[in-house]
A and B are shown apart, each in its own frame.
Chain A
């Protein structure tokens, strides 16, 4: 059954495509069961705090492509994230030893007139300006709430401009209001890349492995090198030429299938690049399974067994020590879906307790539909039940929950959330590098980081003593999910 339809300009949102939800409380095992038997329903909240939108996640994937430009077709506020992507861009360039240069981002600056009369003319001007200013190989045009509601034909204009300028001008449909699951924006960006940038493979490179990631440290050159394979990190910090040739790879792996599910499935379905369908490579069990599946797909089974054995032997002494020191330490985890599952695996593997976890959304299934990729089920099977909830960054729920559970450490992945742990006096960290916990060494990385963080809680303890939470006593005495409605 085809799942990735590249004929439409818009990507189907996650709610309809993957049955994704933003509200749930219960246990991890129950969530897996109900995802499979179809009984899981979205539960909406009557009170909500700000979330994130698909426009942010879409721009996040295309803003750092080295020879592309992005036109954000929106009023100026929607360019609020440009500074952040520029920061990430420059930091990434610095790490790679490249010359520092600003991200190539433009905003079409829709105003009141455009809202009434349409913004098409301005979009064309902006696209032409992007071509003149940046001389890009491709221009991506991201839509906005405003352009969507007034009905600008962005896809049509992009086709027109492709003709006029002689380079692909590619629309990415990522209006914030269309989906409550901001990961839809990743899909929208990948949809555009699959549709308009990628080319069918002229040759195959049996050693090349596409790695869908954000911008983590390069750890795969070493790990894959030992298997005779070469990583090809996508999408940030690539070139258009590299993206055109993703189809040449022997396989696609992901460090977090919440991020890359659509691109990986599209690569397999439309370009014949097999996706490695396995739980994420975090924690020993997950890493074993992930590497074995990679070995199977690429014909490197023997090499993988050697790698696994070597790595496990190498980390064993320090892992044993970390396990001893971390035994029984209680860690609460909050992150984007699959990355959250991965963090649970890491903590349990280190001998820690996980009194609760919360992820920003839940996909009932991934695009490939293969149960081997069900990372939450993997965690439940390997490590047992975990109290589990889903909330799209609703910090009032999280603060309430943390205040009750009072874990020894709060590990979070999404900016703007860590401060709430700190205000409660809970040692907290955000790990921005998604590769930090990956593989066998990742366990040690996390173990050391957790130990460091709980060893000196001075900063958070002082903050907790001297700052106030913006929540009422009433709220903090309610059940954390009091605003979660009954499923429709």
Chain B
């Protein structure tokens, strides 16, 4: 793991509690210090596009608020008490106990406590998410693992057009709910029913129960979700497709749909018809932008730089290169990508298009990114696509800046999606909007 982190762009394992909040009618129970849940809510939700409390998030999250007593004598009794209370007070379909640093260092047997409740028939699982053990991305993976192992039943049948989607990490990606809905719509376009698991209209625990009966699993991310797909393959024999790029804009989305369609054995003509229709609409609007993009007389960005997690860094770069025809500078991947996935990412950045490659640096430390950018040569103002932290360096370099990645405190995010053909148009609007905004 990296040494110091300035300008953090994700947090600890316990961030998984926000993924629980994203499951309809699920309730997290945090077995951790009194401030953990607040800090993580502030970082992952409020200061990330001002996403709110949700159903059972924010200040409603049950928490043991570990004190000195539990640190010295152990916190299992206290956890039992809080679970009992939560079952009475909180109206939920699934309860997820998540541990923090205090309980994991002290060594509480949380698994055992939770098992006792599960044996009583309570829909409850637990994940070990002590903050020091890893990132919020890893925490999200631990949550997927916990629900799959502790909650899902056997697969009795297969629903032929059902596909489980593992993509954006809820809350950590400020556009997660829009993106997941965007993926659902895209897949519907080629005749697949997407089981998106998180967010409005995803179906709550009924959707999760359906995981084993899906025809296949689709992982749309360089690495987050791969472990879940592997586990599901092992347990249910479900095949899975790893599509490592967030499909943003025309080029990538068409490729994405063709790949998924082929994997799913969907009639090619059907997929192509959908692609054609959507492309037509997409290029209608891109053409409308052409006069502006080609003729803007003041300044358009020189090179673009992404300072994002791997999902956005790659997806956005591909869009800017392949659809908008921009050229990349250095790209920074901030999500502490596990070493085994880094080569693939480097390879992907080395081949953003047949003629365009970008160097990539892995670091969670915004201070290190700033240093790199300060030392690099910028012939023209760079476009920095990252987080609100990057406003200073963008100003210093007289560049342009758009916040897409945590923390986002300079815009309100509701259902915006950057996925698909429409998502590409949104991103183009937001980027050129930021540039134009700096002239007026």
Chain A residues in contact with chain B, CB under 8 A? Answer: 46-56, 74-84, 86-87, 100-102, 105-112, 114-115, 122, 125-126, 129, 133, 144-146, 149-150, 176-180, 182, 392-393, 395-396, 415-417, 419-420, 468-475, 483
Contacts and interface: CB of A to CB of B under 8 A. Distances in A.
Given A145-B66, A178-B68, A49 B59 contact: yes
A52 B38 contact: yes
A86 B388 contact: yes
Nearest to B53: A419
A56 B92 CA distance: 29
A183 B186 CA distance: 50
B333 interface: no
A180 B71 CA distance: 13
B419 to A, nearest CB: 24
B264 to A, nearest CB: 36
Contact of B39 (A56, A129, A475): A56
A129 B67 contact: no
Interface-centre pick from A83, A102, A107, A150 (highest chain B CB count, 10 A): A83
A180 B65 CA distance: 8
Contacts of A86: 388-389, 407, 409
Contacts of A176: 33-36, 66, 102
Contact of B71 (A49, A125, A149): A149
For the complex of A and B, the 9 pairs showing the least CB-CB separation, nearest first, are A47-B85, A53-B35, A77-B12, A80-B39, A80-B43, A83-B407, A50-B37, A83-B47, A176-B33
Contact of B35 (A54, A84, A101, A471): A54
B3 A472 contact: no
Contact of A81 (B42, B68, B71, B409): B42
Given A47-B84, A80-B41, A396-B90, 16 more contacts: A52-B34, A78-B35, A84-B43, A86-B388, A87-B407, A102-B7, A102-B392, A109-B3, A110-B132, A114-B132, A176-B35, A176-B102, A415-B42, A419-B53, A420-B59, A472-B88
A395 B56 CA distance: 11
B355 interface: no
Interface string B320-356: 0000000000000000000000000000000000000
Contact of A84 (B46, B81, B100): B46
Nearest to B6: A106
Interface in B250-270: none
Contacts of A52: 34-35, 38
B131 A50 contact: no
B123 to A, nearest CB: 15
Contacts of B40: 77, 80
B15 interface: yes
Contacts of B92: 470
Contacts of A46: 81-82, 84-85
Given A109-B1, A177-B70, A472 B89 contact: yes
Nearest to A82: B8
B35 A87 contact: no
Contact of B3 (A79, A80, A126, A468): A126
B423 interface: no
Contact of A49 (B1, B61, B388, B407): B61
A325 B68 CA distance: 50
Contacts of A87: 47, 388, 407, 409
Contact of B42 (A76, A83, A115, A469): A83
Contacts of A82: 7-8, 43, 407
A280 B407 CA distance: 36
A278 B42 CA distance: 34
B8 A107 contact: yes
20 contacts: A46-B81, A48-B62, A56-B35, A76-B12, A77-B13, A82-B8, A83-B406, A101-B392, A107-B4, A115-B105, A122-B4, A129-B367, A145-B102, A149-B105, A149-B106, A177-B71, A416-B46, A470-B90, A471-B89, A483-B85
Contacts of B53: 416, 419
B81 A180 contact: no
A415 B88 CA distance: 26
B27 interface: yes
Contacts, number: 265
Contacts of A102: 7, 389, 391-392
A48 B59 contact: no
B4 A109 contact: yes
A472 B82 CA distance: 16
Contact of B90 (A393, A416, A472, A483): A472
A79 B90 contact: no
Nearest to B89: A475
A53 B389 contact: no
A474 B89 CA distance: 7
B434 interface: no
Contacts of A416: 38, 41, 46, 53, 58-59
Interface in B23-82: 27, 30, 32-44, 46-48, 52-53, 55-56, 58-68, 70-71, 81-82
B91 to A, nearest CB: 5
Contacts of A417: 59
Given A47-B84, A47-B86, A51-B65, A177 B102 contact: yes
Contacts of B438: none
B196 to A, nearest CB: 21
B101 A53 contact: no
B293 to A, nearest CB: 29
Interface-centre pick from A76, A79, A415, A468 (highest chain B CB count, 10 A): A76
Given A84-B47, A100-B391, A177-B66, A78 B3 contact: no
Given A133-B367, A416-B53, A150 B105 contact: yes
Nearest to B12: A77
B14 interface: yes
A470 B409 contact: no
B8 A76 contact: yes
Contact of B11 (A77, A114, A415): A77
A269 to B, nearest CB: 27
A473 B134 CA distance: 38
B63 A49 contact: yes
B20 to A, nearest CB: 12
B4 A48 contact: no
Nearest to B47: A83
Contacts of B65: 48, 50-51, 180
Contacts of B44: 80
B289 interface: no
Interface-centre pick from A75, A133, A180, A468 (highest chain B CB count, 10 A): A75
A122 B35 contact: no
Contacts of A125: 3-4
A180 B67 contact: yes
Nearest to A475: B89
A105 B66 CA distance: 26
Contacts of A144: 101
A52 B65 CA distance: 9
A472 B38 CA distance: 23
Contact of B392 (A100, A107, A178, A179): A100
Interface in B266-320: none
B50 to A, nearest CB: 10
Given A108-B4, A122-B3, A77 B36 contact: yes
B160 to A, nearest CB: 34
B105 A146 contact: yes
Contacts of A473: 91
A113 B65 CA distance: 25
Contacts of A146: 101-102, 105, 131-132
Contacts of B37: 50
A83 B3 contact: no
A422 B12 CA distance: 31
B11 A79 contact: yes
B10 interface: yes
Contacts of A395: 58-60
A50 B7 CA distance: 25
B38 A50 contact: yes
B440 interface: no
